[in-house]
Amino acid sequence: MGVATIGRVSRDNTSTDPKVRAPLVLPGNDYASITDKVCSIVETPRPPKAWYVAFCIAASLTGVLGAVVVYLITTGVGVWGLNKPISWGFDITNFVFWVGIGHAGTLISAILYLFRQKWRTGINRFAEAMTIFAVICALLFPGIHVGRIWLEYWIAPLPNQMSMWPNFRSPLLWDFFAVGTYFTVSLCFWYMGLIPDLATVRDRAQGKVRQIAYGILALGWTGSNRHWHRYERAYLLLAALATPLVLSVHSIVSFDFATSMLPGWHATIFPPYFVAGAIFGGFAMVLLLAVPCRQWFGLKDVITPRHLENMCKIVLATGMMVGYAYAIEFFIAWYSGNPTEGFVFINRAFGPYAWAYWTMVFCNVATPQVFWSRRARSNPWIIFGVALCVNVGMWFERFVIIVTTLSRDFLPSSWNSYTPTWVEIATLAGSFGLFFTLFLLFLRFLPMVAMAEVKAIMPAPHDPVRR
Amino acid sequence: MKPVPADQPKVWGLLAEFANPADLKEAAEAIRNAGYTRWDAHTPFPVHGLDHAMGIKPTRLPYVVLAAALTGAVGGLLMQWWMNAIDYPIIISGKPFNSLPADIPVTFELTVLLASLTAFVGMLIANALPRFHHPLFASAPFRRVTTDAFFLAIEAEDPRFDLAETKTLLLGARATRVFPVEG
């Protein structure tokens, strides 16, 4: 691409003309400029002011999280507003919410890889980082909600003082294996993708400390083609393994509910419904992070309007699947002829938690509909707004499922209502603090775009004139 | 390899730079056809067709991963059967002690876990990584290999290696420059 043509090429690569292959990296870039753009973010002595402001807020919230978790552990789970019959509230809502967020990262890194969706390369790195940090936040909640956390190792199949083994017929134990495996595999996948890019940062490092730190992290990568050969094969295998894994994780999370006998939970639609919701909420979170990041760190050439548009389309599609699941739940509640089931759903929509239900429906079903319009899909403000709405909506979805069912049991004498205490609200806010603290540190110290993968999908430089 | 006079620094090999992936691929074919064995290409990203040009045999990693996956599946099933049906039988909802359907989720997760860890660790072991010292790291131009440079490195240990002849071969294969690496 000659310099003269660059000025005439549109910066908008969202064209749907099937005759033209839209560029995945905007024109005017070569291998070196990609490295410069991505590496300068981690090399600059001073990140943008917005980074400092965001980091201060996030780190303070993480401090709050630490304090309330210590308070919870030293005092007991009574500091939460949970009691019979509502023994799950904010804790499990937050757990399911955060695990769900992670799913988009794995979908982008593994499923889109298997389907040869080359546009994934611009966004997969930070989406995978988002997965890791979201799963850390998710693991926190089951970790602290058990009360006596020092006996947590009883979950693992380890010999213990009671000479007992875990009950492998419990979905809660399946959950431990599913989320634990998910975290480990996501971490391997993410780190493996990082190795070549860490080597790039190592090779450009100026100071001794940076050279040694990135040198150790890059594991001595030399870009050897014999290494690339095994690396690519291992990456493909990990993608092939992560694909069924990610579908299994939220399915197993949904078994926590679906295998119980409670009305509103005991439904066969739960696994696909939960997986669609997880991808929906996760993509919204990727958009929520991508829109400001590409602005602040000058990555608009790599995370292009087309990337955002594609993600908006996925949000629209998965949002409609979620909407369909909401409708089918109601249909089955009526069609089953089970009066308790019917009552639970009428109560969800028109009972004391109707405000939460309609917030969920508005955020998850109504707002993504704006993405039918191409103008909305290419306006970062609208994308950010819808992504925010979807995240709120997906949190409320889990809240509605958990609380409406538990608060209206089979026996009216045991009905109750649930109000979170300040400790629960602070823990939720703190989990966002932890997530954003980790994410901001990632942006500061690790390459946020998979440079090697982006270069592999760029057109090769022209051959020099043959002699 | 011909003996090196004592007053010259020991040469680890020759490093040749190429302008683009297409030239590198052609050069790789030339080096392979010339019968070299201890050599490698170094690129910022995996170049399509380079494996074939270099004559790299497919890695056996997938078979190792398959073995790990089967170990995870069989091990997971045996563990749950032994723990819940043999060593400490627990009655849950009147279900049989050895209830296979309930064992599937954990079996699946262990299969994926073992296979994934094997793919990752197996790749590192097969590539002899981590390796924190390499003669190429001492070469300043080589630092651009992780940005935009395409290199071919031939080790002096290669039986066909000859400083002058190999250099001529590389230059003839359209290398933009060829220089020795000490080590």
Q: What is the ipTM, given to two decimal places?
A: 0.92
Give B133→chain A minimum CA distance, Å. Answer: 7
b (16+ CB within 10 A) / e for A80-105: bbbeebbebbbbbbbbbbbbbbbbbb
* Angle (nearest 5°) at CA B106 between B103 and B111: 115
Residue B109 is nearest to which of A178, A199, A229, comparing CB atoms?
A178
At B9 the pLDDT is 66
A412 has a chain B CB within 8 A of its CB: no
At A316 the pLDDT is 95
Helix (H, G, I), strand (E, B), or coil: what is residue A165? coil
Interface contact flag, B42 A222, Cβ < 8 Å: yes
pTM for the model: 0.91
Q: Are A190 and A131 spatial neighbours (Cβ–Cβ below 8 Å)?
A: yes
Give B74→chain A minimum CA distance, Å. Answer: 15
Q: State which residue of chain B sits closest to A204, comparing Cα positions.
A: B143
Give me the torsion for CA of A409, A431, A113, A292, rounded to 10°. Answer: 120
At B3 the pLDDT is 57
Measured between beta carbons, which residues in chain A are less than 8 angstroms from residue B136? Answer: 222
Nearest by Cα to A451 from A132, A203, A278, A103 = A203
Question: Which of the 8 DSSP states describes residue B58?
Answer: P
Interface contact flag, B23 A463, Cβ < 8 Å: yes
Select from A226, A250, A251, A256 the residue whose CB has the most chain B CBs within 10 Å, as the one to mutate to test that interface. A226
At A7 the pLDDT is 40
Q: State residue A82 phi and psi, 5-degree precision.
A: -90, 140
pLDDT for B74 beyond 70: yes
A429 has a chain B CB within 8 A of its CB: no
> First-to-last CA distance in chain A?
22
Interface contact flag, B116 A32, Cβ < 8 Å: no
At A1 the pLDDT is 38
Residue the block writes with tokens 């009552």: A343
pLDDT for B4 beyond 70: no
Nearest by Cα to A199 from B105, B80, B131 = B131
CA distances from A156 to A165, A176, A184, A254, B106 (A): 8, 8, 15, 21, 12
More confident: B164 or B111: B111
Percentage of residues in chain A having pLDDT higher than 70: 96
Helix (H, G, I), strand (E, B), or coil: what is residue B16? strand
Give residue-wise pLDDT tens across range B99-116: 888 999 999 999 999 999
- Rounded to an integer, what distance in angstroms lies between the CA atom of residue A79 and that of residue A69? 10
Measured between beta carbons, which residues in chain A are less than 8 angstroms from residue B105? Answer: 171, 174, 177-178, 248, 252, 255
pLDDT for B140 beyond 80: yes
- Rounded to an integer, what distance in angstroms lies between the CA atom of residue B132 and that of residue A215? 7
Q: Are A318 and A276 spatial neighbours (Cβ–Cβ below 8 Å)?
A: yes
Give A3→chain B minimum CA distance, Å. Answer: 19
At B5 the pLDDT is 56
Rounded to the nearest angstrom, the gap between the alpha carbon of residue A132 and the centroid of all alpha carbons in its chain is 8
Measured between beta carbons, which residues in chain A are less than 8 angstroms from residue B133? Answer: 220
Give residue-wise pLDDT tens across range A96-148: 999 999 998 888 889 888 888 888 888 899 999 999 999 999 999 999 998 88
Q: How many CB pairs under 8 A join A and B?
A: 205
A226 has a chain B CB within 8 A of its CB: yes
Measured between beta carbons, which residues in chain B are less than 8 angstroms from residue A31? Answer: 44, 147-148
Residue type for A167, please? N
**Which chain A residues in 92-151 lie under 8 Å from chain B, judged by CB atoms?**
none
Residue B120 is nearest to which of A169, A188, A216, comparing CB atoms?
A188
At A6 the pLDDT is 41
At A122 the pLDDT is 86
- Rounded to an integer, what distance in angstroms lies between the CA atom of residue A344 and that of residue B123? 52
**Regions of chain A with pLDDT less than 70:** 1-11, 461-467
Q: State residue A188 phi and psi, 5-degree precision.
A: -60, -45
More confident: B7 or A417: A417
A200 has a chain B CB within 8 A of its CB: yes
> First-to-last CA distance in chain B?
15
For residues B54-74, average pLDDT: 94
Question: How many of the other CB atoms lie within 10 Å of CB of A467?
Answer: 4
Tokens found for residue A221:
């990568």
At A11 the pLDDT is 65
Measured between beta carbons, which residues in chain B are less than 8 angstroms from residue A227? Answer: 127, 129
pLDDT for B17 beyond 60: yes
Tokens found for residue B70:
């089967």
Nearest by Cα to A57 from A342, A461, A432 = A432
Q: State which residue of chain B sits closest to A198, comparing Cα positions.
A: B146
HSE-CB for A168 with a 13 A CA cutoff: 31
Residue B146 is nearest to which of A177, A180, A199, comparing CB atoms?
A199
At A3 the pLDDT is 39
Interface contact flag, A241 B115, Cβ < 8 Å: yes
Interface contact flag, B123 A226, Cβ < 8 Å: no
